Amino acid sequence: MKLVDSHCHVNSSQFEEDREEVFKRASEELEFIVNIGNDLPSSEDTIKYSEKYPFVYGVVGVHPTDISTYNDEVEKRLEELAHHEKAVAIGEIGLDYYWMEDEKEVQKEGFRRQMRLAEKVNLPVVIHSRDAMEDTLTILNEFPNVKGVFHCYPGSFESAMNVPSGYVFGVGGVLTFKNARKTVEFIEKIDLSRVVIETDSPYLTPVPFRGKRNEPIYVKYVAEKIAEIKNIPVEEVIKVTTENAKRIYNIK
Ligand SMILES: [Zn+2]
């Protein structure tokens, strides 16, 4: 069994020059990758790539920092895209009080509407939450039937226990950073059955490539770090996290 990149943005303009090669390397080294939209155009793109490449799956939605683009028409089109056979979740959606492009209330409304959409089309969600843990948890708990991935999980192990049990936690390059004490502690304590590995490419590149562009095959550095922290064979990390990603995204 191979690793999975459960969260990347190969549709980003930073891959304009060599996207085909990035996909090719990913297809050789990984089981599959999940490409994530952040607005309607990138969600359309992610479905296009999933049609072109068997190992690419798509997630469609509007990111909290792009939520001003969300309206009835966008929602209608997202719903159509969500019915595509390669669409595996609604995302990434949530709250971002760090960049705060839009007011909290506007963000919360867009988040709730997309949680409702996920419930309607019966797909899991991919959650983005920055400096907004309390409000994120409030909204997640309003939708007990929805499951998903808490992407780039920013909290402690203790706060993770307040996340509904249907969610798994996305862990990426941050874990390899020198100042990652909170995330290292989180990995020490959390059961591996609730962890999926991600890159968030082109962002958050793990050591030893920190500062350069990230790409899906770098999930291996995150897997190695988890194995080291948990003191288990890397093969076990690969097997369990890949099974977790298949289960949560319902990929056979
Ligand atoms: Zn992302």
Per-residue pLDDT of the chain (252 residues; tens, 9 = 90+): 999 999 999 999 999 999 999 999 999 999 999 999 999 999 999 999 999 999 999 999 999 999 999 999 999 999 999 999 999 999 999 999 998 888 999 999 999 999 999 999 999 999 999 999 999 999 999 999 999 999 999 888 999 999 999 999 999 999 999 989 999 999 999 999 999 999 999 999 999 999 999 999 999 999 999 999 999 999 999 999 999 999 999 999
- Domain extent for 125: 3-249
Q: Tell me the CA–centroid distance for residue 207 and ligand 1, in Å.
A: 18
Q: Tell me the CA–centroid distance for residue 158 and ligand 1, in Å.
A: 24
Strands (E), the chain: 3-8, 30-36, 56-60, 87-96, 125-130, 148-150, 167-171, 195-197
Q: Which helix (H) or strand (E) holds 65?
A: none
Q: Tell me the CA–centroid distance for residue 127 and ligand 1, in Å.
A: 9
Q: Tell me the CA–centroid distance for residue 98 and ligand 1, in Å.
A: 15
Q: Tell me the CA–centroid distance for residue 4 and ligand 1, in Å.
A: 15
Q: Tell me the CA–centroid distance for residue 69 and ligand 1, in Å.
A: 17
Q: Tell me the CA–centroid distance for residue 198 and ligand 1, in Å.
A: 9
Cα distance between residue 163 and residue 146, in whole Å: 12
Q: Tell me the CA–centroid distance for residue 133 and ligand 1, in Å.
A: 17
How many separate domains does the chain show?
Answer: 1
CATH of the domain at 178: 3.20.20.140
Q: Tell me the CA–centroid distance for residue 37 and ligand 1, in Å.
A: 8
